[in-house]
Amino acid sequence: MDIKIQNLSKSYKIFKRNPGLKAAIKSFIKRDYFLFHALKNINLKISEGEILGILGENGAGKTTLIKLIIGLLHPTNGSILVDKYKPWERNHDYLKKVSVVMGQKNQLWWDIPASESFLLNKHIYKIDDKKYKLILDELIELLDVKDKIDIQVRRLSLGERMKMEIIASLLHSPSIVLLDEPTLGLDVISQSKIREFVKFHNEQYNTTFVITSHYTKDIQEMCKRVFVLNKGEKIYDGDFKELINNINPKRKLIYELPKNFDINLIAKISKSFTFELNENIITAELPEDNLQGLLVELLDTTPPASLLFEDLPVEETMRSFFENPNKYIK
C-alpha cells in the first residue's frame, strides 16, 4: 500500500489569555484566538515496504502527521490517499490494513494481562484461531515476552509494555504500521530489541513502517530515508546518510604512533594537515578526502601501533542542523 500526501495542511484555532483573575474575567467577555499551523503544504510519497523516519524538534508536526495518516484527524487542506482510501473516512477495510503505536498512549487494558487484550483484538479484527496462534507465538518469541503476557499490564516495566503494544498492533497483520516515539523512555537493551524487530518484520513481511523518534539512533539504525519537519514545514526528504554528510562531512582519525616515532617527521606533516598530537596519539577531525591524505602521509612516515576511524556523533550533527537548517538545505 502506497501513501500519497499532497498539499497537506493542518491548522488549529487556539484560545489564549494572560494569567490572573482580571484576565480570566476579560476572557468571558472577549476571547483572543490565533491560528496555529501544525503542518503547512506537506507533499510526501511513501512506497510499500519502506521504512521512513520522520524527524523534527518538539512541535514540528510529527505526531500530527501520524494522526492524519491513521485518520484520527481531518486535514484543513490537501489530501491523503492510502491506495484508494482516505484515512479520515475510517473505512473498516482501511482500518484492518493499518496500525499505530504511540509511545505516550496505551491501547492495552491496564488492569488485565496483555493476553486478554490480545484476545479482544482477535475478535475485533475477526482473526481465525489458527492464524491468531501462529502470529501471536511468532511475535512473542521475537520480542522475548513469553513469560510476561499473562501478567497485569500495570505490573510490567515500560519496555515490556511497549513490546506488548507492538504485539497488539501487529496481530491483524497490517500493511502499514505507524510508530510514534516507540522507544521513548526505554533502556538501551529494549531500544535495541525493538529496532531489530522492526527491521526483521519489514524484511519478512514487506510491512511499511513510518517512525517518529527523538532518538536519532532509532532513525539511523532503522531508516535509510528521512522526512524532516521544522515548524510544520518540510525541510528535507531523502537519504539520511547524505544529510549527515552534508551537515558534517568530517570523520575522526585516532592514530597511535610507536614510542620511538620521529617528532621532526610528524612536525613536517603538520604543515599540510591539521591535527592534535598528545604524547604519541594523533587525533584529527577532517573531511574524508583530507583524512585519507593525512593517513597516507602517516603510513609512509611511520607504521601505527594502532589506528581507528570514528564517525562524529549523529546527535551533535542533527542539533547543529536544527539550529540553522537553512545553512545546510539549498
- The CATH number given to whatever domain includes residue 68 is 3.40.50.300
Q: Are 227 and 259 within one domain? A: no
Quick one: 197 and 303 in the same domain?
Answer: no
Give the Cα separation of 48 and 216 in Å (integer).
23
List the CATH number of the domain containing 280: 3.30.70.1150
Statement to judge: residues 47 and 91 lie in one domain: yes
Whether 130 and 22 share a structural domain = yes
Question: Which distant-in-sequence residues (6+ apart) come within 8 Å of 167 by Cβ?
Answer: 114, 118, 136, 139, 140, 143, 145
In this structure, is residue 267 part of a structural domain? yes
**What is the rounded distance in angstroms from the CA atom of residue 160 to the CA atom of residue 153?**
9
pLDDT digits (tens, 9 = 90+) for 264-300: 888 888 888 888 888 889 898 888 788 889 888 888 8
Indicate whether 318 belongs to any domain: no
Q: Is residue 323 part of a domain?
A: no
Is the backbone of residue 282 left (phi > 0), alpha (psi -120 to 50) or beta? beta
Classify residue 2 by its DSSP letter: -
- The pLDDT score that the predictor gives to residue 54 is 93
The answer on 265 and 303 residing in a single domain is yes
Residues 78 and 104 in one domain: yes
Q: Identify whether residues 226 and 257 lie together within a single domain.
A: no
Longest pairwise C-alpha distance within the chain: 84
Residues of the chain with pLDDT under 50: none
Number of domains the chain is built from: 2
For residue 169, being part of any structural domain is answered with yes
Residue 320 lies in a domain: no
State whether 239 and 127 are in the same domain.
Answer: yes
My answer on whether 39 and 176 are in the same domain is yes
The answer to whether residue 328 sits within a structural domain is: no
Domain that residue 95 falls in:
3-244
Same structural domain, 223 and 254: no
User: Has this prediction a pTM greater than 0.95?
Assistant: no
Same domain for 58 and 175? Answer: yes
Backbone angles phi, psi at 15, to 5 degrees: -90, 135
Alpha-carbon separation of residue 229 from 63, 94, 96 (angstroms): 11, 26, 28
CB atoms within 10 A of CB 137: 11
Residue 31 lies in a domain: yes
d(CA 240, CA 232): 19
Q: What is the pLDDT of residue 317?
A: 76
Residue 49: predicted pLDDT: 92
Task: Name the domain boundary from 204, 229, 244.
Answer: 244
Crossing angle for the helix pair 314-323 and 240-247, to the nearest 10 degrees:
70
Q: Does residue 319 form part of some domain?
A: no
Q: Are residues 185 and 227 in the same domain?
A: yes
- Domain end residue (candidates: 244, 265, 290): 244
